[in-house]
Amino acid sequence: HDEMIRHARQVLSDNDRGTYTVPTHGLYPFQWNWDSALSALGFAHYDEPRAWLEIETLLAHQWDDGMVPHIIFHQPDDGYFPGPDVWSTGREVPTTGITQPAVAGFAVRRIFDRARDRALAEEKARAMLPKIHAWHRWFYRCRDPQGTGLVAIVHPWESGRDNSADWDAAFERVPTEGVGSFTRRDTSHANPAHRPTDEQYKRYIWLVQKFRSLGWDTSKMHDASPFLVVDPGFNAILIRACEDTADLAARLGMEEIAAESRAMAEKGIEALETLWHEPLGQYVCYDRAIGAPIESPSVGGILTAFAPIPHHRAAALVRRIETLAKSCNYLIPSHDPTHAAFDGPCYWRGPVWLIVNYMVADGLARAGQGEIVPRIIGDCLRLIETSGFAEYHDPITAEPCGGPHFTWTAAMVIEILN
Ligand code: DGY
């Protein structure tokens, strides 16, 4: 294990750009929002100032409306498409104009709880909580204009689960007309069979162009997007972050933030219940554009364990994971291996992601469902031993997939082994 930790720290240091980390050299040469927040957990075990700095850098690029963008293009790099010129958000340091799972609030609370340098932790948490809270408020204002308690994503990239089968039907409604020709760069860094299709890329870009035509006014994007999906995992992360923000703010005497965060978390938890799908035994997405559930058995509906869901739901998710275990060798597959859309090495259509395992395990342990946790965490370590610090792994064969030498994979290993 010492050797594994040493190797993981090497990955973090190789991907360290001083004030932020890149997810991996080549494929993702900038700062990604949720990658950074989760990667900070790894740094926190041996360099607390560096851990805080990672999240601080992310929040320094928050928009005035409260949104924290999904990519910050700190340095030019033509190895990535779509770069800053495609987004044209007009920021001094260019960023994209969409967001990503709001895991930073959770990360700040966790790093705070474990911090050895208490003075530094308090100073950093005090400075960051108002920003994180503003981001959460932006979510409920701009992505839940009807006040349902659940936020929608307007682009698959926002979910972090870019090419999940969850989006397939909804994505059909995104046109491709008017998307000029472009050259993908991802497929020159990673095996194309592990990546989204060209057809999906055209639709990804159509949406970017659509939002650009709205002048990146994030208050208009919800109603204007043909792709409008409520993802249970995405909401669970936001709810958990609101809950963690509430707890931490209360401890620091930031009463207003505490009360508002608590209220958002409670409303979210209640609304999450509407996404429960009894026949599948898990939560599912909801297509807000047409007002119908999306009956797709993906890990998005299991990631809900990360939020303070009712105990009987957490118990049911354990049964669901036990069922999935019968059709794969490594938990937790990002899509049900018995389902037609399953594709073992293809990004979010099958592979195991360590960050997902970590969040699900954390939530189940909190819910008193810890019995399955050693299995979920043990599978993470078996995958790394067999196949290294890949972006993701095939849940049947353990094949390392996507980009190699991956920051948040390494951070999760450090987190698990400490
Ligand atoms: C990509 O480029 O594949 C990223 O996931 C977008 O965020």
- Please list the alpha-helical segments (H only) found in 252-337: 255-272, 311-325
Q: Work out which ligand 1 atom sits closest to the CA atom of 32.
A: 7
Residue closest by Cα to atom 7 of ligand 1? 157
Task: Say how many Å lie between the CA of residue 172 and the centre of ligand 1.
Answer: 19
Q: Find tokens 């990519």 and name the residue.
A: 71
pLDDT of residue 301: 98
Cβ(396)–Cβ(329) under 8 Å? Answer: yes
Structure-block tokens of residue 328: 């794969």
Chain centroid to Cα 270, Å, comes to 22
Ligand 1 interacting residues, C-beta cut-off 6 A: 70, 157, 162, 186
Atom of ligand 1 nearest to the CA of 100: 7
Rounded to the nearest angstrom, the distance between the alpha carbon of 1 and the centre of ligand 1 is: 31
Q: How far apart are the CA of 22 and the centre of ligand 1, in A?
A: 12
Which of 98, 157, 167, 184 most suits a substitution to test ligand 1, by most atoms within 8 Å of the C-beta?
157
Angstrom distance (rounded) from CA 290 to CA 288: 5
> Phi/psi of residue 408, each to 5°?
-75, -25
| Model pLDDT, residue 317 | 98
Q: Are 162 and 104 in contact (CB under 8 A)?
A: no
Residue 394 Cα to ligand 1 midpoint, Å, equals 19
> Domain coordinates of the chain in residue numbers?
2-417
Q: Which two tokens stand for residue 76?
A: 């030019």
Report residues of the chain scoring pLDDT below 70.
none
Contact (Cβ atoms closer than 8 angstroms) between residue 261 and residue 316: no
- Mutate-to-test residue for ligand 1 from 70, 162, 347, highest number of ligand atoms within 8 A of CB: 162
Task: Map residue 400 onto helix, strand or coil.
Answer: strand
- Amino acid 375: pLDDT: 98
pLDDT value, residue 113: 98
In this prediction, residue 185 carries a pLDDT of 97
Q: How many CB atoms lie within 10 A of CB 190?
A: 18
Task: Output the CA 70–ligand 1 centroid distance in Å.
Answer: 9
Q: How far apart are CA 302 and CA 284, in angstroms?
A: 9
**Catalytically annotated residues:** 162, 391
Chain centre distance of CA 99: 10
Q: What is the pLDDT of residue 352?
A: 98
Identify which of 172, 273, 174 has the alpha carbon closest to the alpha carbon of residue 230. Answer: 273
Buried b (16+ CB within 10 A) or exposed e, 212-244: eeeebebeebbeebbbbbbbbbbbbbbbbbbbb
Q: Give the span between the Cα atoms of 18 and 21, in whole angstroms.
A: 7
Q: Which of 24, 27, 28 to mutate to test the pocket of ligand 1 (most atoms within 8 A of CB)?
A: 28
Collect all residues with Cβ–Cβ distance below 8 Å to 162 and sequence separation of at least 6: 156, 196, 200, 204, 347, 348
Q: Which CATH number describes the domain made up of 2-417?
A: 1.50.10.10
Q: What distance in Å separates the CA atoms of residue 337 and residue 351, rounded to the nearest whole number?
A: 10
> Measuring from atom 6 of ligand 1, which residue has the nearest CA?
157
- Ligand 1 atom nearest the C-alpha of 81 is 2
Whole-number Å distance between alpha carbons of 388 and 386: 6
- pLDDT for the residue numbered 214: 98
Q: Ligand 1 centre from 280 Cα, in Å? A: 29
Ligand 1 atom 4: the closest Cα is on which residue? 157
CA distance 233 to 238: 9
Task: Tell me the C-alpha distance between 91 and 148, whole Å.
Answer: 32
Contacts of 349 (CB under 8 A, 6+ apart): 163, 164, 165, 334, 335, 341, 342, 343
The pLDDT assigned to 177 comes to 94
- Decide if 28 contacts 403 (C-beta within 8 A): yes
CA gap 180, 244 in Å, rounded: 43
Q: Would the pTM of this model clear 0.95, i.e. be above it?
A: yes
